[in-house]
Amino acid sequence: MTAIDRTRAPSGSTPVASARRSPLSWVRGGGLSNLIFLLPMLVIFGVFSWWPIVRSVVMSFQHTNLVSPPTFVGWDNFVQVVEDPLFWTAVGNTGWFALLALILGYPIPLIAAVLMSEVKRAKGLYSALAYLPVVVPPVVAVLLWKFFYDASPTGVFNTILGWVGIPPQPWIQDATQAMPSLVVEATWAAAGGTIIIYLAAITGVAPELYDAAEVDGANIWQKIWHVTMPQLRGILLITLILQIIGTAQVFLEPFLFTGGGPVNSTVTVLLLIYRYAFQNSLGGDYGAATALSLLLALFLAVLSLVYFRLTRSWSQN
């Protein structure tokens, strides 16, 4: 109802030179129903998306505690964040996670999808098995793997290693092994989704292209390399940048597996943001948290822009 009043006001205030502009004809012309249908989205997006985005920028320049009114402090929050001794640790760890996730998680789904695309019988079974880990709630997956990573000789993975004569590993309790362990779990949890996306793309490759390649005498590897891969180029480029954007915001794994330890070896940028805002004994440092999240968003935006600029000519077939 408030919406009607709000929109009627400006249209009523204009001179009634043209009768088409009167409120009644506005309603008859569908203006009111347009607004009624848009209203849920305008309210929800306004309050829970557009306004928080604006507020985030404002807050990064403010000192906010929930007691006294916020005060503007210029670039202080950004300076504080960058000078935090943990900042570069977190950036390095996040980069390390992203790199490992790329090395491990980028080729595996592609290889699996190419192999699975040639399955004729029970193809659905293959897809279902590959997708199963994606369906497991991420929290359950992490907690389950945390138990698998038990460092004692009777831990699940250490038992399996024992079968082939490998001594027990410390897994997430060791500063160098913790991050790779996290990446293995993250890859397990995410690979299925990427496999299904690639599988859909491979199915979409025009059969004539393979026919033509065969006429030219291409063998199987040449067909994969010169027909399938170029046809997947667009989707491969997109999944690459999406994976980087996703891994740059990794939170769940370090938070639940290690809480950032051992010796800060798994503190990621998002974990740092969380600590600033919600795990601070002095009360939430919302300014620092928003400043760091804006820095991260800015970095990702610049990265994607550069990425798309660099790959533009390459991604067009």
Partner 1 sequence: MTTSTEFSPEVVRVSAHELSGTNGPKRGASGRRPPRASSSRRRRAANADATDRGILSAFDRRRPGIRWGVRLTHAVLLVLLIVVGLGPLLWLAKSAITPTVDTLRTPMALFPNGVDWTNLSTAWSTVHIDVQFMNTVWVALGSWLMQIVVATTAGYALSVLRPKYGKVIYGLVLGTLFVPSVVLLVPLYLTILNPPLLGQSLINTFWAVWLPAGASAFNVVLIKRFFDNLPREVFEAARTDGAGPFRLFWSIVLPMSKPILGVVSVFAIIAAWKDYLWPLLVLRDPNIQPLSVRLPTLQSAIQLDVYLAALAISTLIPIVLFLVFQGLFLRSAGLGGAVKG
Residues 200-259 that bind partner 1 (CB under 8 A): 200-203, 205, 207, 210-211, 214, 220, 223-224, 227-228, 234-235, 238-239, 242, 245, 249, 251-252, 255-256
Interface residues for partner 1 in 102-121 (CB under 8 A)?
Answer: 112, 114-119
Q: Which of residues 165-184 bind partner 1 (CB under 8 A)?
A: none
Among 84-92, 94-102, 167-175, 270-278, which window interacts with partner 1 (CB under 8 A)? 270-278
* Residue choice 33, 79, 166, 310 for contact with partner 1 (CB under 8 A): 33
Does 99 help bind partner 1 (rule: CB under 8 A)?
Answer: no
- Of the residues 98, 190, 199, 267, which one makes contact with partner 1 according to CB under 8 A: 199
Site for partner 1 in 272-301 (CB under 8 A): 273-274, 277-278, 284, 286, 289-290, 293-294, 296-297, 300-301
CB 205 within 8 A of CB 227: yes
**Which residue, 58 or 176, has its beta carbon nearer to partner 1?**
58
Is residue 197 part of the contact set for partner 1 (CB under 8 A)? yes
Residue with tokens 């293995």: 184
By beta-carbon proximity to partner 1, the closer residue of 21 and 223 is 223
Return the residues of window 55-74 that contact partner 1 according to CB under 8 A. Answer: 55-56, 59, 64, 66
Rank residues 103 and 312 by Cβ distance to partner 1 and give the closer one. 312
Q: Taking CB under 8 A as the rule, does residue 134 contact partner 1?
A: yes
